[in-house]
Amino acid sequence: MARKTKYFFNPKSLSFERVRDNRRYMMWRGIGFSSLVLVLSVLFSVVFNRFFAGTRERAVMDENAALRRELKGMDRSVAELERNLGVLKERDLEIYRTMYEADPPKPVDYRGLDYAELKKLPEGELLQRIRLKIDRLGKDAYAQAISYETLKKLIRGKEAFVGAIPAIQPVSNEDLTRMASGYGYRLDPFYRTSSFHSGMDFTADIGTEVFATGDGIVEKTNSDGWGYGNHIIVDHGFGYTTLYGHLSKIVVRPGQSVKRGQLIGHVGNTGRSTGPHLHYEVRRGGNPLNPAFFYHSDLTDEQYRRMIEMSNRETKRFD
C-alpha cells in the first residue's frame, strides 16, 4: 500500500506544501519506542522472576536451610557420642587403676586432623567441626577396641591369679577344732625351746583327706625320714607355693595340674612329727607367710576372727 503524502497550508505562500520527514522528530520517536520496549522487557523479567524463577530460588533456599538444620543436628549427636565415649574412657581408667593396678592406655593422638579446606565451603566451619569430631570418635573407638582386648587379657590373668591364690583350709575344718598350732614362734616338741614355726599344724586322723588350697602344678613330691616326711609342694604361680607335710599317702605326681579343693594326699605321721597331723605352709618368693591370712573365703567372718585368734596363741607345735 503506497504511503500517503501529507500536505499543510503555508499562510506565507498562500499555498499547500508537502510535509517532509523531520529527522529530529523521527529520532525522538525511535527513542520513545525503544524506551517502551525496554520498560516492557524489564517488567516482563521482574514478573517472570517473581512468579517463576523466584519459586526455584525459594526451593533452593528452603533446601539449604533444611541441610543446615540437619548438619546442626548431626553436630549435637556427635557431641553426645563424644560425651558417652568420654564416660567409657574414664571407667576404663578406673578399672585399670583400681582393679588391676595396671597402667592405663596412652592418650589418643589427634594430631594431623585439620580439614581447613572445608572452611571454604558454605557452612564450612560447621562441616569442619563435625568432620573433626567424627574422626576423633573413630580414633577413640579404635583405641577402646584395643583397650578392651587388653582388659580381656588382664581379666584372664586376674582369674588365673584369683584361682591360684591359696584360699581354703587344706583339711575339712569348719568347726576349727583341728587347728593345733599356728604360725610364728612356738615351743619345739623335741628340743623344748622356742623356735620359729613357718606354717600351721592341723590335727586329724591318719588317712584324713588333704586338699590343694589353690590351682597350680605339683612341683615336688618327696619323702624325708626327718623333717617334713612325705610331703607335697605345689607351685601356684605368681610367686606362691604351698607345702603339705607328714602325709601318710600322696595321690599326685610332679608336673600334674591340680585345682583348688582337689584331693592330693592323706594325713599321716611321717618325718619329724609327734602325732598324726598336717603341717601346712604358704610361701611367696620363697618367704613364709601366715597361712591363716588366706582362709577368709573358706570361713565366715566370725570363724575367720576365731581362726586368727587361735593361730596367734602360743601352743605346742607337732613338728
- Judged against a pLDDT cut of 60, whether residue 240 lies above it is answered with yes
Specify the pLDDT at position 294.
Answer: 84
Is position 174 within any domain? no
Average pLDDT over residues 94-120: 66
Average pLDDT over residues 239-244: 94
User: What Å distances lie between residue 4 and 27, 62, 85, 222, 288, CA to CA?
Assistant: 21, 61, 95, 148, 140
Residues 6+ apart with CB under 8 A from 265: 210, 230, 232, 244, 247, 248, 249, 250, 251, 252
Is position 319 within any domain? no
- pLDDT tens digits for 11-43? 666 666 665 555 555 666 666 666 666 766 766
Specify the pLDDT at position 33.
Answer: 66
| 122 & 199 share domain | no
Number of domains in the chain: 2
| 291 & 155 share domain | no
DSSP element (H, E) containing 186:
strand 184-187
Which among 211, 267, 272 has a CA at the least distance from the CA of 242?
211
| 123 & 56 share domain | yes
Q: Structural domain of residue 213, as residue ranges?
A: 179-312
Is position 173 within any domain? no
The identity of residue 192, as a single letter, is: R
The lowest-confidence range among 41-55, 142-156, 180-194, 236-250 is 41-55
Residues 239, 289, 271, 253, CA torsion sign: negative
| 14 & 144 share domain | yes
| 65 & 131 share domain | yes
What is the CATH classification number for the domain harbouring 288? Answer: 2.70.70.10
Is position 1 within any domain? no
- Judged against a pLDDT cut of 60, whether residue 314 lies above it is answered with no
| 270 & 185 share domain | yes
Domain-ending residue, one of 164, 196, 223: 164
Domain-ending residue, one of 104, 136, 164: 164
| 160 & 191 share domain | no
| 212 & 132 share domain | no
